[in-house]
Structure 1
Amino acid sequence: MTMLFEVAGSTARPAATHSLTEMGLHERAHLQEWVLDQPQVLGDDVLIVTSEFDRWSGHDGTRTRDRLDVLGLDAAGRLVVAELKRDDSGGDVHLQAITYAALVSRFTLETLAEAHAQYRTRRGDPMTTSEAADRIAEHVGGELDPDVLRRPRLVLIAGSFPRQVTHTAVWLSEMGVDISLVSVTVWRVDNRLVAGFTKVYPTAEVEEFTLAPARAEARVATEKAAERNRAANAVRRLVEAELLSNGEALTLQPTHGTTAQTRAAIADWVAEDPARGRATWRNDPVSPLVWAADGQPWRPTTLAKHILLEAAGVDAAVRGPAWWVTSAGADLAELADGGSGRKDWSYLHRLLDAVPAGRWTTYGDLAQLVGTAAQPLGNHVMKCPECTNAYRVLASTGRPSPGFNWSDPGFTKSVEEVLAEEGVRFTNGAADPAQRLRADDLRRLAGAV
């Protein structure tokens, strides 16, 4: 149960709850769109494959009018069947979900790619079936496992669930079916509507202690997929961690999925037009590479497959992020896989500690040593409590960054005033270049600390 309160100082009062019907909200136009916009409601790392899917047919070609609300795919390659009801779920919602799960359990990559392409195109993002297949392959980090695909997860979302549904969900879970019940509630707060999604079954304790054999097998399959998921989610982690700046140059270096023969063919193909071997990064989780050969945005894996086919005539699965390297020599997969997917900034902290009073350095000098770009490094410094001497880091012009703020909001001196007190000379608002510590200077100082 989720309780929402309106608070004012030391007082709190319950916010008024409403059903979707009371607020004039509808299942398709509202609840379904919320789920499509925020797929984390269905679980971690879920890609929406399609919605309103009704293209079923039997062996005799007979069509059925059943409509699957939402079909997703998690990063482990498991299908997610979601059935939505705006208020009380009714007594047969689980039966509908089971029927859809049985139908989609026979889906293949080709079926899913066709459905996803139609869904994206219908929603204003035209996509070919081939592009959709690449998008799905990127999401799961390679090929789909038919055994995992045959065990869809069920997610039932409704305002409330009658006992026959909750009892059946418990029994299905004990029989090895992965099923979740999620309640949706709407509150009105300050004349705004707030929607809340609460997982009412299974609780963490139930998930821990009621693992039937089939459910345990699904968990093992998920764990086995973790390695390949790291590559699939490389782009998302790079964007979230801001490890690369917009416009950062990348160079083609074919590795995964290639042989010596195909790499030689790609090298000859790039030699004909060197732009084919260059790209720039943009912090877009969908199409982060701008290929110099055509100026168009691409997904890393889609572009790698395109290059492999064009240069060597080979159509094979590849891990695209491993094909593109930064000026520091790290490929995108390696860069995203640093620890938990976040960059280790400990060396930066050591460098900042080494900057003495009366001297200054730049974000670019630090970025050169740390192995990143100036923009993500600056973003980190601005919000990092461990970054001592951050005020001694200036832009390449010798001027303080406009976004710099003191950790103590009550401190009123400007960066220029503090640096001047430490002995840094300023001319027309710019710090003296002679007092700048460049990358080699910083490396020597940090080595002496």
Structure 2
Amino acid sequence: MALYEISGEKLTPIGQRTFAELGLLERANIQRAVRTHIAAITPGVRTMVLAEEFGDWVGANRRIDLLCLDENARLVVVELKRDDGAHMELQALRYAAMISTMRFDQAVEAHRKYLLSIGAKEDAEQAIREFLDREEGAVALSDTVRIVLASSEFSQELTTAVLWLNKQRLDIRCVQMRPHAVDGRVLLDIHQVIPLPEAEQYQVAVREKSMEQDAARTQDRDLTRYDLSIGDLSLSNLPKRRLVYEVVAEAIRRGLSAESIEAAIPWKGSLFVSADGNLNESGFLAALGQKKLRCYTGDEDLFHVAGKTLAFTTQWGTRTLRAVENVLKVMPTGDEISYAPTTAVADEATYGKYVVRQRESGAIEVEEDGVAVLPVKPVLRQLAAELQIGLENSNGNEFNTRQLGVQIMTAIRNI
């Protein structure tokens, strides 16, 4: 696409140049300019630069142009090319694989070196924690590594490869940077070409549908369960319909209206049944003249908002995860929310009528007489009191759910 200047009734094309023609160097000019405004090539995802020319690995003599971190604690490999971006996707894939095991402390050290190199006096760990809004406690980087390729041109061979890799559930973006010289100034036309912003939601839906089709091939019914974390709160082993309920419940706690939630999930239509007054389950059902609804109507499951009692639907089909993602996109700010498929049991301890269990993902779950207890933190505090376990670590910070669960299982085994 060309740039034009409009003057009166005329359009005058502004000729595209190359970085080489303009005397701009890949590292000294383009890379340093991009690092100061990384948002230009990472639209829609808040991102910070962790390191420049990163290559702290054994047996490799190549370096990542810009190693970044996004708001979801995912590492981002950014590769820049001045003109032709041929084969840069293969290089970026190698880099993504090599840094996929990076720990938080290693990210802090990489950022410390970067800050030192640019003469900044910030504390590296504090800068990262503030960016992620994680002032205290352990920070785990996501297993997912994103890739951003930025260049003035992309070959058909490269774009075909990237489209195919994205179909395999990777996250690779191609951002085109085209320079123009205007009155002695250099202007950059920057836009994301893969995935097209207008088609990104569609591609997410296609990827989700593909994931659900894969699950359907292995069994008639998708019985995948999920672990949900909301700040310090951990809910584990949730069926999909309970996962979406808990996300919606958090949205309502943060002040999101029922109408806004329904607007975020338009294909479902009405999600709530309501009655006037602050009602319990029996009062709610009586007010509606029904004995049973296909909604969550337990006393703990009903919502009370603006003088009304609301019940949320239990009826979901194949797009439940898409509904969860849509609600998360409109969620008011607050504690970070994340979810992942429930993994195998890594540890377990029994204490009286209680079973405390940790999944391989780290999530803690508790059963009382064989029935899952949700949320788990209150009963963990109760067990800690019975087992004479403190609720704080040596630094005076309260244990999070995972830490307290591990402390309790250790104490049970030592009885």
Relative to the length of structure 2, the TM-score reads: 0.50
Structure with the higher fraction of residues in strand conformation: 2
The higher radius of gyration belongs to: 1
Structure with the higher fraction of residues in helix conformation: 1
